[in-house]
Structure 1
Amino acid sequence: MTSADWRALLEAYLDGRLSAEAFMRRFIDAWRASDGRVPGAIAGMQATVEAFEAEVADVREEGIVNEDELRQAVQRALYNLADEPSVTPQTFDRTRAREEMRRMQIQVRGCAGIGCLIALVWVALCILQITFVSDWIQHSFGWSAWPSAVVGFFLAFVPIVGNLLAFLAATELRDWPTWLAAVVFFAAPAATLISGWSRWRRPG
């Protein structure tokens, strides 16, 4: 029996659709048929059901045995059953497994291709930004190429600061149009970041 089947049996008794004795008999039959593979909540009330069975056998008259303890045990089991995973063994479906694997491979290839393109654009933008920031430092402070390159490397990765210095170098030193510099050093980095983040966050 699945967890849903056990739950239906418990609810049938609590709702009055099964008498205590009928519930007891069905529970014992299902317990024996399950060969011990039952949810923990069901296993926890097995001793109570057996005790009730013994009382019924002693009295041998329905409606005499006090079923309060049994009802309480069933209520506890029904409450705890909702928090337990199913113990039903799952059949391995090879066809479905192959389809899932094929679908996953297609998704991985697609994500990898677009991801590589985004990464290449991001690397190109980083190199360009480092170069332009280094040029701006060298021109503004009169430093030689090596110190400018070292400081420019670190400043280029500072958010906003690196983008702004590269923008100034492009417009003031390289005579780029303002719109082109804004696209390359502000819009393009933002677009690659947002695109990469959204693809990483997307499930599947």
Structure 2
Amino acid sequence: MPGLDRFRLSSIEPSTVTDDIIDLMAGEEKFARHFHIPFQSGSDRILERMQRRYASGDYGELIHRIAERVPECGIGADVICGFPGEEDEHFQETFDWLEKLPITYIHAFTYSVRPGSTAESFGDHVPGDVKKRRTRALRKLSTDKNRAFRERLVGQELPVFVEEMRVAGEARLGGLTDNYVRVDLGPGTADRTMLDTRITGLSEDGLVGERLTTEPVSA
């Protein structure tokens, strides 16, 4: 793919992630090692109420298959907290699945009623304080899992798609690794380009790195 440094999938439904896509990602260097695959719930009862066309076990098997074939793949998941009918045991199923799966970050959303939706007519809505508590628990889990993932990347050499940023008036370089982690490369200027870097540490929510070369990675 001449002239193309990197391409990345947007959010993709579990049922559309095929072995061919996983194998292409594993074998093509320009294919960013990153999936964002909605989970929504780890309870099959709640998934059925949401009218999702997969079970929690199917999702879990898919995530393990990706992690096995694409090492250090960044894998994100969307989850809805407090869907009508979600009891404590249903939420615990979700938490337990996410805790054990090799997911690197979680987007946890608090359920809100959509006028005209089927769920609006359900009579077993979850109290607001319970929904918020569950959302906080998953966001804390996401923070812990993402930090553990970033710690594994320290010391690695990774290409980063670099963009110039302004921080307190200072020109700095930063960008994303192919597995979807932001890297701060310190002061400097550059056009939008790919640079080889070495990851040297963690920032509050990303990584810190150093440039191994000032020359762009060849396409």
Normalized against structure 2, the TM-score is what? 0.19
Q: Greater helix share, 1 or 2?
A: 1
Normalized against structure 1, the TM-score is what? 0.20
Q: Greater strand share, 1 or 2?
A: 2
